[in-house]
Amino acid sequence: MQKKVFITGGTGLVGSHLLRLLVAKGYENIFALHRSSSDMRLVKDLENKVNWVKGDVLDVMTLEQVMQDASQVYHCAAVVSFDPREYEMMDRINIQGTANMVNIALHLGIDKFLHVSSIAAIGRREELEKADENTEWQDSPWNTRYAISKYHSEMEVWRAANEGLPTAIVNPSVIFGNGFWNKGTGRFFKIVDQGLKFYPTGSTGFVNVKDVVKYMHALMESDIVNERFLLNGENLKYSYIFNSIADFINKPRPSIKVTPLLKSLAWRAEKAKSMLFGSSPKVTKETAHNSSTNIAYSNQKSLNTFDIPYSTIIECLEEMGEEYLQSKN
């Protein structure tokens, strides 16, 4: 447990849970990167158990210094945005930042590099109904700019693997877990609490963040290199998710189905609103379309490789509901 471990994105949902898992397992030489603007609330209890380093994945000098003598690197940092004004910044962080990370890892001879990708990097297209680790990316109008940035991030990792860096990639589905309530899936609770009336008709994969970090740790400690694992707890309807959240926080269930017409009106209205007021669009053409499609994600490879059962999403939502209600008091 004395080997040096370096983590990017340690203040985010996945990174903070990973840090907590490593500390619980007795790791004592953990270094984590954070920006000067990072919200540290999720890692307040880890303040004195982790060596925090101020910087970001575009800061090559800081990365090279902190990665010296590291045995393992978990690259969790990424930007998720559907706001066109943030696309350039998202590309820099997700693509160039990942290139910086793997280039330095190659130069320093890191033992193993684990990259946190996303099911978004697998891509979406009209005829795709089920995806697994062998599903090949195809250019499609339904791939969001975020998805494209994560795909190109993966390409940087595979390039480094071809150049000799021992790597592994995880592709989590939509991640739930206690964290922030103003962004990510935690925001679903706030939206329902404020009186969500509409529900999308599609379905996708969902996974508990606690399961994600268990698989990440097991994969890092294994002899498996240069492979990817799709991490998915369950394939569920969005309506099931929003109904469950409403039940757990004692709010009415959304009752109006989003029809193709409503979907079209919604993203156009949000686009006009963002142009007029400079606000971030809550719905884009791509996200509106994706919320009405049905894609199932296979978790068979992960289950066959590791003895780690996935928890049910309903258990995770119940726990989050309790945490959300407490946060309001």
Q: How far, rounded to the nearest angstrom, does the alpha carbon of residue 138 sit from its chain's CA centroid? A: 21
Q: What does the alpha-carbon distance between residue 201 and residue 128 come to, in Å, rounded to a whole number?
A: 16
Residue 252 in any domain: the answer is: no
Give the domain extent around 99. 5-179+206-234+296-312
Q: Are strands 51-54 and 30-34 parallel, antiparallel or unpaired?
A: parallel
- Residue 47: CB atoms within 10 Å: 9
Strand order in the sheet with 234-237: 174-176, 203-208, 234-237
Separation between Cα atoms, residue 172 and residue 193, nearest integer Å: 26
* Domain of residue 160, CATH code: 3.40.50.720
Instruction: Evaluate whether residue 195 is within a structural domain.
Output: no
317 assigned to some structural domain: no
Strand 234-237 to strand 203-208: parallel, antiparallel, or no bridges (unpaired)? antiparallel
Phi and psi at 89, nearest 5°, equal -65, -40
**Domain presence at residue 57:** yes
Residue 49 resides in a domain: yes
For residue 248, is it within any domain? no
Q: How many CA atoms lie within 13 A of 59 on its CB side?
A: 14
189 within some domain: no
Does residue 126 fall inside a structural domain?
A: yes
What is the rounded CA–CA span in Å between residue 250 and residue 324? 12
Nearest-5° Cα angle at 77, 76 to 81: 120
**Pseudo-torsion of CA 320, 321, 325, 328, nearest 10°?**
50
**Cα Rg of the chain, angstroms:** 19
pLDDT in tens, the chain (329 residues): 789 999 999 999 999 999 999 999 999 999 999 998 898 989 999 989 999 999 999 999 999 999 999 999 999 999 999 888 899 999 999 999 999 999 999 999 999 999 999 999 999 888 899 999 999 999 998 899 999 999 999 999 999 999 999 999 999 999 999 988 988 999 999 999 999 999 999 999 999 999 999 999 999 999 999 999 999 999 999 999 999 999 999 999 999 998 776 777 676 777 777 777 676 776 777 777 778 899 999 999 999 999 999 999 999 999 999 999 999 88
**Domains held by the chain: number:** 1
Helix (H) and strand (E) counts in the chain: 12, 14
CA distance 219 to 138: 27
CA dist 309 and 170 (Å) reads 16
